[in-house]
Structure 1
Amino acid sequence: MPSWVGFLLCVAVFGGIQVDSYCDVKGKNVAIEGKASQSSLYHKLGMAQGAIDGNREGVYKLGSCILTRNEFSPWWRLDFHEPRKVGAVVLVNRKDCCWERLMGAEVRVGNSPDNKNPVCGTVSEVEPGLVTTFCCEGMEGRYVSVVIPGRDELLNLCEVEVYTEGKKKACW
């Protein structure tokens, strides 16, 4: 394929010029194999397991999103009970309101239960229902967590998917 075709494809897919890369995700979502927990619970509709129920629905009242209380550095965590290879992590943001809360959230992968594991990626764009893929390229860890570091906030997510295979691909 000529390079200009690849460039146009990137513009079409990303809605603008994407200079760095995107993540090619393969395999099945293994998140359901772990146990989810979170720093607090705002309401019974927002329980931790809602983020790994296989449902990308972004409306909180339909019961498939998580929601913590307003607190300093809220977190959601997935425990695989043993180290796993993590190729990619996909986050689905809430779409009915409050999607801006996820700005700056970090996806972390590692073996420490304190959420201070290495960062796979940081949320740098938020929109209603936005699906964001982070390429972790084989990071290993027992835990995959989403943390909003250093501020008082409520954390809401509507799905977290974890894939064992994910590789960065240049946009052109």
Structure 2
Amino acid sequence: MMQLPVIPLLCLAIFGVFQADSYCEVKGNNFAPEGKPSQISLYHVNGNASNAIDGNRNGLYRGKSCVLTKSEESAWWRVDFRKSRKVGAVLVVNREDACCWKRLKGAEIRVGNDPHNRNPVCGTISDPQPGAATTLCCGGMVGRYVSVVIPGREEILNFCELEVYPEGIEKPCI
């Protein structure tokens, strides 16, 4: 029987990152709540844009802490900081309800100054898992906006928390 290495699996379990070779360690305070959130549309009153920066990582929609758009082509959510900020890392908490967690597959985290979400990509959520907190290192990207965009397909966008940190350091999972 083949044995799997313990440390990378611990790294996966602790950090919610779905690659066995590294994770992003955040430093500083989450400044997402300082921004003004918006989204392309609103599917239901309990899924408003401000839920994503309310400090509540509850992954269940009925917990009233998730965003939920209508099914849209290239659905998006964004936070506007009203001035450029250095972004070291972004953490996104996926919805954990059985019906809906796969919707976040392919979502891009973008950082920049374009209000139309055509900003550079910090990272992509390629392997979403129910209720997982995925942290992406952005390497000190600078921008007024941090967006979650599902490019190129019609989809409902929903996730339950977004945190933005001034520093993110890529660390190996040994």
Q: Is the 8 A contact 1:35 1:79 kept in 2?
A: yes
Partner of 2:104: 102
Query: 2:126 pairs with 111, 124, 127, which one?
Result: 124
Per-residue displacement from partner, 1:69-112 (whole Å, max 9, x unpaired)? 00100000000000000010000000113000000000000010
Which residue of 2 is the match for residue 43 of structure 1? 44
Q: TM-score, normalised on structure 2?
A: 0.90
Q: 1:17 & 1:71 partners in 2: Cα distance?
A: 29
Cα 1:85–1:17 change in 2 (3 A) is: closer
Alpha-carbon distance between aligned partners in 1 of 2:118 and 2:48, rounded to the nearest angstrom: 22
C-alpha root-mean-square deviation of aligned residues, in Å?
1.5
Deviation at 1:66, TM superposition (A): 0.3
Residue 148 of structure 2: aligned partner: 146
Name the CA shift for 1:151/1:28 in 2 (closer, same or farther; >3 Å): same
2:116 paired residue number: 114
CA distance in 2, matches of 1:102, 1:57: 16
Q: Which amino acid aligns with 1:71?
A: E
Q: Partner residue of 2:92?
A: 91
Stretches of structure 1 lacking an aligned partner (at least 5 in a row): 1-6
The match for 2:80 is: 79
Query: 1:57 touches 1:158 (CA, 8 Å); kept in 2?
Result: yes
Q: How far did 1:61 drift? A: 1.7
| Separation in 1, partners of 2:37, 2:19 | 36
Q: Which residue of 2 aligns with 1:4?
A: none
Q: Distance in 2 between matches of 1:58 and 1:12?
A: 22
Q: Percentage identity across aligned positions?
A: 61
Instruction: Specify the SS of the correspondent of 2:81.
Output: strand
Unpaired runs of 5+ in structure 2? none
Q: Cα distance, 1:143 vs. partner?
A: 0.2
Q: Please list the CA deviations of residues 26-77 of structure 1 after superposition, one character each: whole Å capped at 9, or x if unmatched.
A: 1111000000000000011000000000000011122110000001000000
* AA matched with 2:103: R
Q: Please state how far the C-alpha of 1:13 moved relative to its aligned partner.
A: 1.9
Alpha-carbon distance in structure 2 between the residues aligned to 1:135 and 1:88: 4
Partner of residue 57, structure 1: 58
Structure 2 counterpart SS, 1:113:
coil
